[in-house]
Amino acid sequence: MAHKQLIIPIFIPFGGCPHQCVFCDQKGISSVKALPEPLEAARQIELYLSTWKGKGAKEAAFYGGSFTGLPEKMQKDYLEAALPFIREGRLDSIRVSTRPDYIDAQRAAFLLNHGVRTVELGVQSMDEKVLALSGRGHGPEATEAAVAALRKAGLKTGLQFMPGLPGDTIETILDTTQRIIALEPDFVRVYPSLVLKGTALHRMYLGGRYTPWSLEEMTEACVQVKRLLDEAGVPVIRMGLQPGKELEESIAAGPYHPSFRQLVEALATSKN
């Protein structure tokens, strides 16, 4: 029987991000308001490890920003805060989250040489128009190049996907799913787009320039998304944002449900 993995989250809200995408409010949903010091990251790792009783792999994960957009010295300081735990055999590896256009062969090699074994890319969409309307600042070719660089370096690659962004239709969502499958990621996270208070998307919503998908519509769409991913053998490790008080207080509109994956799976079963 496989043992449960421990992932130790260290949030760096907007760290390394060149600008704020229309949908993003990492500070609100993570409750972290500023970048932690490397010493704080080490303390977080120690806290989790000292109370963990499981036997699965243990990984420190830098989430909530574009890790490889940070100054290289800051990246090195964060990673070196975790490396002693790896050398002591208490931690198995490190994962980071970043933007597709902030990964190339040099950055991938740097990560690999500093204990990183998994990189999660915030792909969000593979549709040119949807990416432009969401303020991403790159096109789908950036994702294709990033995945190729990570694969060549031997890094495990996960892709984060946000159906329901401005300009999305069921056709663009399913096309993005197929293009993600073609990249052969090690895993995928599916986060239906929500309107978070204080974001540009919230202002678009209030001004009538964006209509969020209903919970029913998004559940129906994600049944098809998950079916395609399952048939292709791509693990879906999360559907829907992790529920929590900070997140729920930040939501202004959109297809939120604390057990979104269960809704999708129940609907899929009823259709079979």
DSSP labels for 244-260?
A: -HHHHHHEEESS--TTH
- List, for residues 104-152, the tens digit of each pLDDT value: 999 999 999 999 999 999 999 999 999 999 888 889 999 999 999 999 9
Give the Cβ contact number of residue 85 at 10 Å.
20
Closest to 195 (Cα-Cα) out of 66, 22, 32 = 22
Stretch 244-248: mean pLDDT: 83
204 part of a folded domain: yes
Domain assignment of residue 208, yes or no: yes
DSSP annotation of 101 reads G
Distances (CA, A) of 149 to 91, 100, 116, 203: 25, 10, 14, 36
Residue 156 lies in a domain: yes
Q: Is residue 72 part of a domain?
A: yes
Cα–Cα distance for residue pair 119/103, rounded to 1 Å: 10
In a domain, 1, yes or no: no
Q: Say what percent of the chain tops pLDDT 90.
A: 72
Q: How far apart (Å, rounded) are the C-alpha atoms in residues 214 and 119? A: 31
Please give the pLDDT value at position 55.
86
In this predicted structure, the answer to whether residue 262 has a pLDDT above a threshold of 90 is yes
If you average pLDDT over residues 180-199, what whole number do you get?
A: 94
In a domain, 29, yes or no: yes
* Other Cβ atoms within 10 Å of 267 Cβ, number: 15
DSSP secondary structure string for all residues of 110-128: HHHHTTEEEEEEEEE-S-H
Give the separation between CA 257 and CA 74, rounded to whole angstroms: 36
193-207 mean pLDDT? 90
The model's pLDDT over 53-91, given as tens digits with 9 standing for 90+, comes to 888 899 999 987 789 988 899 999 999 999 999 999 999
Give domain status of residue 224, yes or no.
yes
Instruction: Please report, for residues 88, 140, 200, the alpha-carbon distance to residue 137 in angstroms, rounded to integers and kept in the order given.
Output: 41, 10, 15
CATH number of the domain where residue 35 is located? 3.20.20.70
**How many domains does the structure of the chain reveal?**
1
Give the range of the structural domain holding residue 174, as residue numbers without chain letter: 6-271
User: Would 67 be classed as within a structural domain?
Assistant: yes
Mean pLDDT of the chain: 89
Chain centre to alpha carbon of residue 53? 27
Instruction: Label the pairing between strands 236-239 and 116-124.
Output: unpaired
List the beta bridge partners of residue 196. 251
Give the burial class of 189: count Cβ atoms within 10 A of its Cβ; 0-12 exposed, 13-18 middle, 19 or more buried: buried
